[in-house]
Each structure stands twice: as structure tokens, then as C-alpha cells.
Amino acid sequence: MRDIAKEVYTKMKIGSVSWIKPVTAKGDTIESFQGALDSARQLEEEGLIDVQKVQRQADGLIDAIRILRLA
């Protein structure tokens, strides 16, 4: 499984904000995307990003995560 949060983080500049979303062209599904929040939380614990918002669908599944790159 690819680490979507880490991929987005490495493409960002310090101080920028980005949405992490599943990319169907790369084989992501809403179900496989659920682990991205865990990865983002690890980056947050390391002080690299701030998880600003977690957007969920009506059924509770995560469909987007907004992050701010700190370092």
C-alpha cells in the first residue's frame, strides 16, 4: 500500500496547505484510503504537519484530509 500522506507531504512547500484525497487512477479507493489518516497522524506527531480537517462521508468513511506543512 502506498503512503499517500507522505507522497503529498514531500511535494508541498513549508507553510502550504493541501488536501489529501484518494486518486482512483493510482488504484486508491475510499476503503484503502482510511489508513492515510494514521499516516498523517504519524507525520503530525513528528512535528512535520498539522492535520487541520478530516472530511468524512455520510457513512463515516474518510474521503479527504487537509494538512499544513510545518517543516
pLDDT score recorded for residue 48: 98
Of 66, 69, 20, nearest to 49 by C-alpha is 69
pLDDT score recorded for residue 1: 57
List CB contacts of 29: < 8 A, sequence separation 6 or more. 22
DSSP-derived letter for residue 49 is: E
pLDDT score recorded for residue 2: 78
Beta bridge partners of 31: none
List CB contacts of 39: < 8 A, sequence separation 6 or more. 3, 4, 5, 6
For the stretch 56-67, pLDDT in tens is 999 999 999 999
| Domain locations in the chain as residue ranges | 4-69
pTM: 0.92
SS3 label, residue 66: strand
* Regions of the chain where pLDDT drops below 50: none
pLDDT score recorded for residue 11: 97
